[in-house]
Amino acid sequence: MNFAFKFKYRFFNAFRELFVHHHGSLEFRAKVFALLIAANEQAPDESFVIVKDLGMDIYEQDEARANLLMLTTREIVQKVQNNNGLDIDKLVYHIQKELHIVPRYAKKIDIKALKPLVILTKDEDTLSYQERILEFLSNLKQQYKEEH
């Protein structure tokens, strides 16, 4: 990435609440992706390419939003991996809390779209953990779908 590109996205990342339309929705999606990626301590960089590709589909080929989704996801994963005030349990709590506040976000949990992130996993224990996370997200989505 060139300097101008990095600067632009770091700037938007720092001030996304002010400059990004529907920043809450984007951050919720990033948290869902990050939950699955961070569960794999050896997550390959390819995970973030998958997130960007999914973002291109979600945001109808809007590369700027897809990049922002990827960078926000990477930022959250790094916070979890560096134990920077966030861990898997807190991330789950944040996702549940946001769904409680904004139940329509449950529609943004796309289990089918998340599966390519699990396919990258080589370790059997990690794979099992990620599959349980997918099951949890699926149940959470179903719960909010039924309630609202």
The tens place of each residue's pLDDT in the chain, 148 residues long, gives: 456 555 655 555 555 454 444 468 999 999 999 999 999 998 899 999 999 999 999 999 999 999 999 999 999 999 999 988 899 999 999 999 999 999 999 999 999 999 999 999 999 999 999 999 999 999 999 998 877 6
Greatest CA separation found in the chain?
47
Indicate the pTM of the whole model: 0.84
Hey, where are the domains in the chain?
3-147
**Identity of the amino acid at 147:** E
- Do residues 51 and 73 make contact, with C-beta atoms less than 8 angstroms apart? yes
Q: Rounded CA gap, 107 and 35, in Å?
A: 17
Angle (CA) 7-34-48 rounded to 5° is 55
